[in-house]
A and B are shown apart, each in its own frame.
Chain A
Amino acid sequence: MSLEITERIDKVFGHLELKISIRENEVDSKFVVTQDARLIEAVIEGRKYDEAPLIASRICGACSIAHFLASVTAVENALGVELPEDAIILKEVMNKVQIAQNNAVHLFFLALPDYYNAKSLGELLDVNPDLVRQGFQLNSLCLKAVDLLAGRIVNPNTYRVGGFTKKFLKEKIEHIIEVLKKAEKLAKDIVEQVMELNLPELSDPSPTYLVAESPMGYLSLGDHIVGSDGVRFHGLEYSKYIEEKAVSYSNSKAYTYKGKVFHVGSRARMLAYGERLIGLDEYVSKLSRLLNNPFNNLKVKAIEILYTIMDSREKLEELKDRELKLRAEVKTREGEGVGIIEAPRGLLIHHYKVDSSGRVTYANVITPTAMNALHIEESAKVLGRKLLEENKGIDEVRKQASMLIRAYDPCLPCAVHVIVTR
């Protein structure tokens, strides 16, 4: 048996093809990003440091806030800005709320229709109208919270390098808490439903993962990276551990960690810090047996929605009655900095060098989808082999392959990079 499948994946952010070739019981797969290069790093180079976050937030409309926060953190580290504690907490809350919103979009609009035998959200509306309604409500509530925290739903404008621009009034924080309370109720229902889904079985081709270190709790901001082998290294040393290379068939780069294929994302976060999800032990213990299946990224995403909303509300309630210090002094100086953040799709690294006049002389962005590229290829191979053994038809291979890719939730506009040849 020999056949070639080129599947154009729909319901992902951007343009993507998956090629699976089966020859004499050998399965090969290629993750081909057909999206054009975005040249964002070249645009950032040569500009003033405070313009870098503005440009970085425009890398992607879906996770614009994650790119903005990573970029701002990198610049702040390069300039040696010491943020007040309140500002860091609010930054974390901003990140968490946007992760909830992004996960909700991914679950309802892209991934879930597959599991109800619907081709799109429109068909899901006929099958399970309640779920679609809940999805829209949850998404709009999360968007409202993002809007209040970041000033806009994309390209935040309440924050500049050095801290928040304005004071957060008590009424505003109370408004956000109210919105999050409504979202929490919905999220609980949704998690119950998602946890009962039957996902396809698949074993993890490479259990290595990387995750941004969370010094306290789940998803807090730090500047170290932690690997599945227990190695912990500072963000600036990423190039020692993570090797990058260009691949001829795709517009995205491919990354390995110490020569091994690795994955990042919700599943990696759960593997590393799952026991810190306070109040959700029931779900976590149910999931812990299933975490070596890449499809289960979906269930983790649902739990993360509930946790991030709960945690953000608690954090904001602590901040509510305090006089907040949200801004630090910024002085231009020469330096090098890395911003490490957990974006909705996994570890995100922004790396800048700033010269003494405040211009960015070097910029590098490593995105989660690019890091996941090789892992997706390996998983697709395992899936192809498994379906070959089970003698499944070509339609089943196509269907399950695109479901697998959607489970990873790739974002292609983020993944494409220009390769500078000097």
Chain B
Amino acid sequence: MVKVYVNDKPVEVGEGAHLLDAIIKAGYSVPTLCFFKEIYREASCRMCIVELANGRLVPACAYPVSEGLKIYTDTERVRRNRRVILELILAAHRMKCQSCPRKGGYCLLLDLAKEYGVEGIPVCAECPLHESECLLTKGIPCLGPITMAGCNSPCTREGTPCIGCRGPITRKDVLEEAAKLYLKYNIDLDELYSKMKLFWNNHPKLDYIYNVIKEVIKKNTKEGSLR
């Protein structure tokens, strides 16, 4: 048996165990995305990083335990680094929330983004309406694709369009995906802009958001004209 200290709490685990086992045994938890017990232990998402007593940051799922090791799971430094990691993951994440089977409150990535205050996933990720029931398909202008998630989508849940009260997403890739959606379902850009101005009138990036969407629509419309 090996004795390790998780947040100064002593706990004994077997030889060859990993930090994650010790943390769980001690009653703490760390967020994991890629880890899958007995199947995947490559530490590729890095969300489970913890801090050692000597200041090193190591992934808890793949780092072996050793006698007298002291680890800290929730320091300020750890949280800051996890936030950066989340942003990196989101930057490469394909924003196809509209058709993701995990939508409607089952998205772990979204929960983590909410917990760590990382902007990036739209309300569509939480919206339980499926692709065929989406309000955009009915021609109703909904700000879901470009509004920050975290409200648990009470409006779209009841069939009323999102009005963007939680503020906009300013990441370009998200905005471009959203613009394609708006183009596909013939949503009027001026009407959308009027809706955006309801809550985001003083947002410094309002014009940027509008221009990104306008560019994509222009590029993808043959005549080059806006509807």
- Residues in chain A within 8 A of chain B (CB atoms): 47-48, 51, 54-55, 151-152, 157-160, 165-166
Query: A12 vs B212: C-alpha distance in the bound complex, in angstroms?
Result: 47
Partner of B158, one of A51, A54, A55, A151: A151
Find chain B residues with CB under 8 A from A54 CB: 163, 198
Q: Does B226 contact A (CB under 8 A)?
A: no
Q: Are A165 and B194 in contact (CB under 8 A)?
A: no
Interface residues of B in 194-219 (CB under 8 A from A): 194-195, 198
Find chain A residues with CB under 8 A from B29 CB: none
Q: Are B160 and A165 in contact (CB under 8 A)?
A: yes
Q: Are A51 and B198 in contact (CB under 8 A)?
A: yes
Find chain B residues with CB under 8 A from A51 CB: 163, 194-195, 198
Q: Are B158 and A48 in contact (CB under 8 A)?
A: no
What is the distance, in angstroms, from B143's C-beta to the closest C-beta of chain A?
Answer: 12
Q: Are B194 and A157 in contact (CB under 8 A)?
A: no
- Besides A51-B195, A152-B154, A165-B159, 18 new A-B residue pairs in contact (Cβ under 8 A), listed by A number: A47-B194, A47-B198, A48-B195, A51-B194, A51-B198, A54-B163, A54-B198, A151-B154, A151-B158, A157-B155, A157-B158, A158-B159, A158-B160, A160-B159, A160-B160, A165-B158, A166-B158, A166-B159
Interface string of B161-198 (1 = CB under 8 A from A): 00100000000000000000000000000010011001
What is the distance, in angstroms, from A407's C-beta to the closest C-beta of chain B?
Answer: 36
Q: Are B163 and A48 in contact (CB under 8 A)?
A: no
In the A-B complex, list the 7 residue pairs whose CB atoms are closest, starting with the nearest. Answer: A165-B159, A151-B158, A157-B160, A157-B155, A166-B159, A157-B158, A158-B158
What is the distance, in angstroms, from A405's C-beta to the closest C-beta of chain B?
Answer: 34
- How many residues in B have their beta carbons less than 8 Å from beta carbons of A? 11
What is the distance, in angstroms, from B158's C-beta to the closest C-beta of chain A?
Answer: 4
Sample (7) of A-B pairs whose CB atoms are under 8 Å apart? A47-B198, A48-B194, A48-B195, A151-B154, A152-B154, A157-B155, A165-B158
Name the CB-closest residue of A to B197: A47
Query: A151 vs B155: C-alpha distance in the bound complex, in angstroms?
Result: 8
Name the CB-closest residue of B to A55: B198
Query: A47 vs B201: C-alpha distance in the bound complex, in angstroms?
Result: 13
Query: A55 vs B195: C-alpha distance in the bound complex, in angstroms?
Result: 11
Find chain A residues with CB under 8 A from B155 CB: 151, 157
Query: A218 vs B154: C-alpha distance in the bound complex, in angstroms?
Result: 32
Find chain A residues with CB under 8 A from B191 CB: 48
Query: A54 vs B157: C-alpha distance in the bound complex, in angstroms?
Result: 17
Name the CB-closest residue of B to A151: B158
What is the distance, in angstroms, from B137's C-beta to the closest C-beta of chain A?
Answer: 15
Query: A400 vs B158: C-alpha distance in the bound complex, in angstroms?
Result: 46
Find chain B residues with CB under 8 A from A47 CB: 194, 198
Find chain B residues with CB under 8 A from A48 CB: 191, 194-195
Find chain B residues with CB under 8 A from A160 CB: 159-160
Name the CB-closest residue of B to A150: B158
Query: A277 vs B50: C-alpha distance in the bound complex, in angstroms?
Result: 67
Query: A103 vs B159: C-alpha distance in the bound complex, in angstroms?
Result: 30
Q: Are A157 and B154 in contact (CB under 8 A)?
A: yes
Name the CB-closest residue of B to A47: B194
Query: A51 vs B165: C-alpha distance in the bound complex, in angstroms?
Result: 13
Find chain A residues with CB under 8 A from B195 CB: 48, 51
What is the distance, in angstroms, from B191's C-beta to the closest C-beta of chain A?
Answer: 7
Interface string of B53-74 (1 = CB under 8 A from A): 0000000000000000000000
What is the distance, in angstroms, from B140's C-beta to the closest C-beta of chain A?
Answer: 9
Find chain A residues with CB under 8 A from B160 CB: 151, 157-160, 165
Query: A157 vs B154: C-alpha distance in the bound complex, in angstroms?
Result: 8
Interface string of B135-164 (1 = CB under 8 A from A): 000000000000000000011011110010
